[in-house]
Structure 1
Amino acid sequence: MLQIRSISAEETYPLRQRVLRPHQALEACAYPHDTDETSFHAGCFFEDQLIGIGSIFREAQDGTTNRNIWRIRGMAVAPEQQGKGIGGRILTALIAYVTAQGQPGEIWCNGRITAKGFYERYGFQQLGEVFELPGIGPHVVMHRPIEV
């Protein structure tokens, strides 16, 4: 049975590295706002094994953190578990966390171009053009309002 629960930032690093940044050191998988008080990290477990992760924290596209704008980062599902709805369950948990804050605002992410359709299924829309993240690949900004 799958279980989604809150995990620490550090618990996300091995899966972030394995799925998203295999050519980088584990330490490079730490994001600037991982340990902020308002940040939330969701882990999906199957039989006590962490198989999917996602993180969300307060950060606008200009890097400021003083508005109700939330950024999703580090969405990853173990390759052998992909295509089973795990990413959707994690994304739903991240959206629910922000919605529970009870304030209007926005959620956004830099999504891989291959994940654009995934985010669209959850109400996200593309903002701007495709851009390249060096060493990682083509991305697009996806965003959606926070509905309270």
Structure 2
Amino acid sequence: MISRSGLSGVEFRRAGSDEILPLRARLLRHGKPVETAVFSEDSLPDTHHFGAFSGGTPIGCLTLLHHPGEEPPAWQLRGMGTETRWQGKGVGRALLEKAENDLTKQYGCIRIWCNARAHAVPFYKKMGYRVTSGEFMIPDIGKHYKMEKVRQ
């Protein structure tokens, strides 16, 4: 467990997609069927799911999808979200750090990229990501920017 101010007792770990899917759907596909939050790559062996858990209940989630054939090895960050009452307390930062550290330890130098919602760009910038595209729209979701980071 990572213990930070306000995060004592929160567990950050790899998770099964079934553990985080209900949270992912509620946070990122609000009002839509849970199936709309399923990624076709969720069950692939080189897809990694991570969760933040308080009392065994998921409060944060993210998924990293491998994109083979790229150098350094590339992973797309998708489905990242934190329960509203836990936002601003460091859950997202600690969860993303856990995922980045685990993948770097396992694979060495990696590149992580995401299609960040416009309102999340400042968060990713604080985490060391840089904007690599202009603004674009994802239908039914909103404005996004491609961002990326290389970790060694």
**Partner residue of 1:7 out of 15, 22, 30:** 15
Q: Is 1:37 the equivalent of 2:45?
A: yes
- Secondary structure (helix, strand or coil) at the match of 1:96 reads helix
Distance 1:82 1:42, change over 3 A: same
Which AA in structure 1 matches 2:125?
E
CA offsets, 1:89-111, max 9 Å, x none?
Answer: 11111111221133333110011
Q: How far apart are 1:24 and its partner, in Å?
A: 2.2
Percent identity between matched residues is: 30
Structure 2: which 5+ residue stretches go unaligned?
Answer: 1-8
Q: Which amino acid aligns with 2:94?
A: R
1:21-69 deviation line (CA, Å, top 9, x unaligned): 113211111112111112111110112211111111212xxxxx33311
What RMSD in Å do the two structures reach over aligned CA positions?
A: 1.2
Match of 2:104 among 99, 104, 112: 99
Aligned length: 142
Aligned to 1:62: none
Unaligned runs of 5+ in 1: 60-64
Residue pair 1:3, 1:46 contacting (<8 A) in 2 also: yes
The range that moved more, 34-43 or 97-106, is 97-106
- Contact between 1:98 and 1:146, CA under 8 Å: does it hold in 2? no
Normalization by structure 2: what TM-score? 0.88
Instruction: Please report the TM-score for the alignment, with normalisation by the length of structure 1.
Output: 0.90
